[in-house]
Chain A
Amino acid sequence: DADVTQTPRNRITKTGKRIMLECSQTKGHDRMYWYRQDPGLGLRLIYYSFDVKDINKGEISDGYSVSRQAQAKFSLSLESAIPNQTALYFCATSYRGDTQYFGPGTRLTVL
């Protein structure tokens, strides 16, 4: 079984809809991250969490929110999706500040 899982793997939605992307991990890591990847722009950090009670904005948090329901679960929400949020979204985990391990990704398309 994969150590970091993401659901759904693919999602097509319409402008204005609320979307939730979920991430779960069995690695026992304390830190979790959400990134988006766009062609030519690389990976950009949306939100990160050091533990259940510590959530922080990354460089592109506008239009997104997160919830750390448990040490192993970190969800990303788009309150009102817009087309320029079409991207590949990755969850990652790490133990403290060390190596980050990525989930398989969610391909989100907003029409």
Chain B
Amino acid sequence: QKEVEQNSGPLSVPEGAIASLNCTYSDRGSQSFFWYRQYSGKSPELIMSIYSNGDKEDGRFTAQLNKASQYVSLLIRDSQPSDSATYLCAVTAEGTYKYIFGTGTRLKVLA
């Protein structure tokens, strides 16, 4: 069973701090990695995609991928109360189109 693991949280950080969200995956052949943000009752919204080892930055968000250790992380700098949401990690299984989603980490940014 190919899995994607995330700590369910909640992860609480003060406003202005860095939030660090982590995700591990079991399929070594995974090739594409995605972070989605989901507000309660709403649909997942793409935050970042990353395909190769290293860091990828987009505004306040940085995705980090380490295929050898099979983890992907998302850093949110200068966290804002509006960042409070559930963050879903998704990984595509080797040789397929299919996403495998983690169950998400709930982030709370405290004003």
By the criterion of a CB under 8 Å from any partner CB, how many residues of chain A are at the interface? 23
A43 to chain B, nearest CB (A): 4
In the complex, chain B residues whose CB is within 8 Å of the CB of A100: 34, 46, 90, 99
A105 touches B42 (CB 8 A): yes
Residues of chain B from 34 to 62 with CB closer than 8 A to chain A in the complex: 34, 41-46, 49
B71 within 8 A of A: no
Contact of B97 among A41, A94, A107 (CB under 8 A): A94
A-facing mask of B72-109, CB < 8 A → 1, else 0?
Answer: 00000000000000001010100011110111100000
B98 touches A104 (CB 8 A): no
B32 within 8 A of A: yes
Main SS of the interface on chain B?
loop
B-facing mask of A93-111, CB < 8 A → 1, else 0?
Answer: 0101111111111010000
Contact of A43 among B32, B41, B88, B97 (CB under 8 A): B88
Smallest CB-CB A-B distances: 7 pairs: A97-B97, A42-B103, A102-B43, A43-B101, A42-B101, A105-B43, A102-B44
